[in-house]
């Protein structure tokens, strides 16, 4: 018998031992519990006629209040806070604010920026406007000035109107007209002011001049019909104002431009302080703790700060004390790679169209067998082991054409916005993108006229593959945020009594919703049995 | 004892029972690793109940005997008290309230059939309750709200459609 045991047997024993032990040593833990993906929303036990049950986040089930605000501890009680508290918390935490200017990185002193808030607030308070409440339009690229202007508006109780940069003169003019903004902050020489003045109530312009051009005098233009002032002049020589104690809660803090799909026209949507802070705090607690934004994170908004979702996530990063690095170059006008270059971010926000383009380009660039094998291996890691692929020398060996955002990237926020007509990213596309970008991706459903921030959002570890067919591409947007509740209502041929999954018009309500009570979006949604929202019907 | 002459270099057979066993074990382990997985499924959640108007007559069915669900109405709101079947179900101490408008009985703290409004009469307006009785009733209402599911409202005969 003993003569039977030879080298073949020993080899087999080694193989069996290896097959048993190596998975234990090398496989690792999944990123999240797969079982938690089956009932992602809290569903009401009753429903009204012609309506589905109300769906809520599992964080705020029925019987508990929806998330109202930041919950800032004050003595023995907690208060909701407002946008000012985000800046105050950011000042206390070790997070920093950097600006990328080409190849240089400017590290801002938070105290200097805090002074700038007061100087800007004082200067704007002193300006003469025809209405008591001042409306400040901010037509700036992503920059420290953009954020400072937003917080100055919060501290001094002005209405803040972020306008996407760059834009055509006519677009800016229309937005100024629709919001009756009398004060505009813009980069020097980016618009011809004499063109603007004719059709708007614009009275005062603050010019942001880059450092290299400050020897030129932009403020004294003899033909100007508006008062001109340079930002660096205010920052250097301005007087610090006293921040008002109380804000007028009845007035909106921020005005957002969006298309209203129900009315089929552009409108100005007012966001109150409560809308914004409830959306920020819902965003802050949405992800499982290990994926949440932390002090160690480097956050870059690779999307315009005029987009409300980008701004809400940026505020969330500031609240968490992450280091925020802004770059004036952002998609869609710039490339994603150049917007993150020199920042080496760990968390970014990207417009959905940019990510869809990256998907298309990078999939086409996987032309070698090695690329395909690597991709299949990474998808298998995702789907079977629930682990997001990590960037490594081996994975990047002989790499194909894809954006390289550095080793630190771990999380991408991307938002679907039906008002912008973005093309939905399907489950399988998102999985491919996770492998392409070496990052987790959180996919949000937003609709600016309805609610601040996201309405629903996928969990960071939801890597379930989509059940695609020739005619149907599986896609979903995850469970509701904790700051609102959602239900579906019968609309046209869609009924919530649909045998499989209720279908109907999406109706939202809660602290982050722009109206008191319910807001009917006019968008048809389908509620899946796993508690996730999907857009459109199945056929 | 003489050792046997130089051991014969016996050819070790490749196919032995042990090798076969190990090879099949290895193959099975590889299969386990690469077999297509099906995600586990959880039973679907029960469908939500329809919130609807009840009249005293339609409510009467839900007394636990004719229909397994036990409903009762307090101050015009219908509660599903099936979870408290041992109290409100058949044979329970409060079974008298099952399928009925329990407001007056709860307010007065009496379990008397005569106190409850007849199912043919219009809904009790509760106007003649004393302040103390009203307080007791509100207390009961809150208890029910905290404990049981609101499944509808109590309306007069003929008003179901308006709601």
Cβ B51–A46 below 8 Å, yes or no? yes
The C-alpha atoms of residue A265 and residue A259 are separated, in whole angstroms, by 6
Residue B50, chain A, CB below 8 Å: the answer is yes
B153: pLDDT strictly greater than 60: yes
Contact A16 B29 (CB under 8 A): yes
- Give the integer Cα–Cα distance in Å for A171 and A169: 5
Q: Provide the pLDDT for residue B42.
A: 79
Q: How far is CA A170 from the centre of its chain?
A: 27
Domain ranges across chain B: 52-154
pLDDT band at residue B37 under the 50/70/90 scheme: confident
Cα A136-A139-A141 angle, rounded to 5 deg: 135
- CB of A73 less than 8 A from some CB of B: no
- pLDDT tens by residue, B100-127: 898 888 888 888 887 788 888 888 888 8
B86 touches chain A (CB under 8 A): no
| Percent of chain A residues topping a pLDDT of 90 | 75
Q: A529 touching B, CB under 8 A?
A: yes
Q: Does domain B52-154 correspond to CATH entry 1.20.1050.10? A: no
- Closest partner CB to B29 (pick from A19, A34, A529): A19
Q: Phi first, then psi: what are they for B46, rounded to 5°?
A: -60, 145
What's the whole-number mean pLDDT along residues A332-355? 93
For A:441-470, CB contacts with B below 8 A are 464
Contact call for B149 and A34, based on CB within 8 A = no
pLDDT tens digit sequence for A76-119? 999 999 999 999 999 999 999 999 988 889 999 999 999 999 99
CB < 8 Å to B69, chain A: none
Tallying the residues shown for chain A, one arrives at 539
Nearest by CB to B45, which of A43, A47, A464? A43
Residue of A nearest to B146 (CA): A63
Residue A333 sits at the chain B interface (C-beta within 8 Å)? no
Nearest residue in A to B79, CA atom:
A46
Q: Is A519 helix (H, G, I), strand (E, B) or coil?
A: strand
pLDDT at A384 over 50: yes
Amino acid A94: pLDDT: 92
| Distance (Å, whole) CA A282 – CA A66 | 9
Run of H or E residues at B72: strand B71-74
Q: Which of A337, A339, A317, A312 is nearest to A326 (CA)?
A: A339
Residue B8: pLDDT over 70: no
Q: What is the mean pLDDT of chain B?
A: 85
In sequence order, the β-bridge partners of residue A395 are none
d(CA B156, CA A474): 47
Which tokens hold the place of A125?
């308070």
B45 vs A20, A35, A39: nearest CB: A39
Closest to A3 (Cβ–Cβ): which among B10, B33, B40?
A: B10
Q: State the smallest CA–CA distance between residue A82 and chain B in angstroms.
A: 32
B38: confidence class by pLDDT, cuts 50, 70, 90: confident
Q: CB distance B149–A43 less than 8 Å?
A: no
Chain A residues with CB-CB distance to B81 below 8 A: none
Is A16 within 8 Å of chain B by CB? yes
The Cα–Cα gap between A148 and A150 comes to 5
Looking at the complex, does the CB of residue A1 fall below 8 Å from at least one CB of chain B? no
pLDDT-above-70 percentage for chain B: 91
**Hey, which residues 6-45 in chain B have their CB within 8 Å of chain A?**
10, 12-14, 16, 18-19, 22-23, 25-26, 29-30, 33, 37, 39-42, 44-45
Predicted pLDDT at A299: 97
**pTM, 2 dp:** 0.91
Min Cα separation A459/chain B (Å): 17
Q: Which of B13, B23, B48 sits opposite A46 (nearest CB)?
A: B48
Contact state of B50 with A38 under an 8 Å Cβ cutoff:
no
The phi, psi pair for B80, rounded to 5°, reads: -95, 105
Predicted confidence at residue A4, as pLDDT, reads 63
Range A387-392 average pLDDT: 90
Set of chain B residues whose Cβ sits within 8 Å of the Cβ of A384: 37
Nearest-by-Cβ selection for A12 from B19, B40, B41: B19
pLDDT 10s digits, A258-294? 999 999 999 999 999 999 999 999 999 999 999 999 9
Chain B interface includes A8 (CB < 8 A): yes
Give residue A427's pLDDT band: very low, low, confident or very high (50, 70, 90): very high
- Specify whether the CB–CB gap between A280 and A253 falls below 8 A: no
- Closest CB to B14 among A8, A48, A384: A8
Q: With bands split at pLDDT 50, 70 and 90, how would you rate the model's confidence at A125? A: very high
A20 touches chain B (CB under 8 A): yes
A9 CB neighbours in chain B (<8 A) are: 16, 18-19, 22
Confidence at residue B163, expressed as pLDDT on a 0 to 100 scale: 47
The per-residue pLDDT for range A220-235, each reduced to its tens digit, is: 877 778 899 999 999 9
Q: What are phi and psi for residue B66, nearest 5 degrees?
A: -75, -35
The average pLDDT across A180-184 equals: 93
pLDDT at residue A195 tops 90: no
- pLDDT at residue A448 tops 50: yes
d(CA A386, CA A342): 31
Residue A254 has pLDDT above 90, yes or no: yes
The tens digit of pLDDT for each residue in A36-45 reads 999 999 999 8
What residues contact residue B44 under an 8 Å CB cut-off, 6+ apart? Answer: A529
Write down the pLDDT at residue B78: 93
Is the ipTM value over 0.90, yes or no?
Answer: no
Task: Tell me the average pLDDT of chain A.
Answer: 92
């Amino acid at each position: 018998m003993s003569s039977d045991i030879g080298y073949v047997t020993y080899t087999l024993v080694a193989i069996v031992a290896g097959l048993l032990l190596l998975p234990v040593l090398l496989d690792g833990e999944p990123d999240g519990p797969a079982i938690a993906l089956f009932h992602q929303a809290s569903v009401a036990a009753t429903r009204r006629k012609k309506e589905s049950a109300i769906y809520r986040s599992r964080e705020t089930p029925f019987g508990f209040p929806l998330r109202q605000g930041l919950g800032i501890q004050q003595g023995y009680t907690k208060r909701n806070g407002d946008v000012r508290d985000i800046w105050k918390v950011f000042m206390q935490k070790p997070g920093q604010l950097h600006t990328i200017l080409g190849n240089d990185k400017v590290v801002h002193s938070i105290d200097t920026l805090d002074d700038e808030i007061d100087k800007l607030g004082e200067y704007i308070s002193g300006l003469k406007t025809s209405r008591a409440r001042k409306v400040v339009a901010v037509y700036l690229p992503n920059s420290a000035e953009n954020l400072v202007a937003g917080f100055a508006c919060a501290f001094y109780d002005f209405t803040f109107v972020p306008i996407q940069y760059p834009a055509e003169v006519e677009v800016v003019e229309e937005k100024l007209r629709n919001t009756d903004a009398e004060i505009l902050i813009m980069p020097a020489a980016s618009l011809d002011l004499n063109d603007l003045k004719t059709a708007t109530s614009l009275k005062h312009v603050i010019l942001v001049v880059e450092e290299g051009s400050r020897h030129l005098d932009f403020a004294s233009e003899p033909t100007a019909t508006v008062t001109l002032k340079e930002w660096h002049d205010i920052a250097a020589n301005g007087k610090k104002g006293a921040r008002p104690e109380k804000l007028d809660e009845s007035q909106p803090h921020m005005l957002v431009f969006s298309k209203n799909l129900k009315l089929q026209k552009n409108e100005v949507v007012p966001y109150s302080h409560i809308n914004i802070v409830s959306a920020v705090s819902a965003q802050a607690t949405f992800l499982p703790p290990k994926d949440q934004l932390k002090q160690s994170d480097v956050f870059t908004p690779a999307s315009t700060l005029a987009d409300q979702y980008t701004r809400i996530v940026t505020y969330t990063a500031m609240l968490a004390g992450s280091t925020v690095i802004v770059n004036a170059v952002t998609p869609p006008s710039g490339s994603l790679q150049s917007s993150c270059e020199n920042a080496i971010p760990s968390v970014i926000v990207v417009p959905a169209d940019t990510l869809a383009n990256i998907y298309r380009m990078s999939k086409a660039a996987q032309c070698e067998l090695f690329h395909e094998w690597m991709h299949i291996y990474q998808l298998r890691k995702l789907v079977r082991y629930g682990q997001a692929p990590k960037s490594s020398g081996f994975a990047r060996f002989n790499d194909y054409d894809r954006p390289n955002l550095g080793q630190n990237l771990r999380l991408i926020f991307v938002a679907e916005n039906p008002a912008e007509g973005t093309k939905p990213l399907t489950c399988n596309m998102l999985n491919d993108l996770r492998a392409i970008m070496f990052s987790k991706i959180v996919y949000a459903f937003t609709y600016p006229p309805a609610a601040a921030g996201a309405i629903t959002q996928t969990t960071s570890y939801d890597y379930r593959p989509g059940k695609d067919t020739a005619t149907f591409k599986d896609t979903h947007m995850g469970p509701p945020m904790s700051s609102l509740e959602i239900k579906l209502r019968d609309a046209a041929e869609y009924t919530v009594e649909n045998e499989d999954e209720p279908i109907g018009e999406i109706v939202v309500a809660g602290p982050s919703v722009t109206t008191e009570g319910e807001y009917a979006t006019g968008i048809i949604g389908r509620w899946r049995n796993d508690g996730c929202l999907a857009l459109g019907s199945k056929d | 004892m003489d050792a046997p002459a130089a051991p014969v270099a016996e050819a070790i057979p490749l196919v032995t029972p042990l090798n076969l066993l190990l090879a099949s074990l290895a193959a099975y382990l590889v299969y386990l690793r690469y077999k297509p997985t099906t995600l586990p499924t959880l039973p679907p959640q029960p469908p939500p109940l329809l919130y609807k108007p009840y009249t005293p007559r339609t409510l009467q069915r839900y007394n636990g005997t004719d229909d397994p669900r036990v409903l009762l109405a307090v101050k015009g709101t219908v509660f599903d008290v099936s979870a408290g079947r041992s109290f409100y179900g058949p044979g329970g101490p409060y079974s008298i309230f099952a399928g009925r408008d329990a407001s007056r009985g709860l307010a007065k703290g009496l379990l008397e059939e005569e106190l409850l409004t007849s199912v043919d009469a219009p809904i009790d307006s509760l106007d003649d309750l004393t302040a103390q009785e009203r307080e007791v009733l509100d207390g009961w209402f809150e208890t029910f709200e905290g404990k049981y599911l609101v499944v509808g409202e109590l309306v007069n005969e003929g008003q179901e459609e308006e709601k």
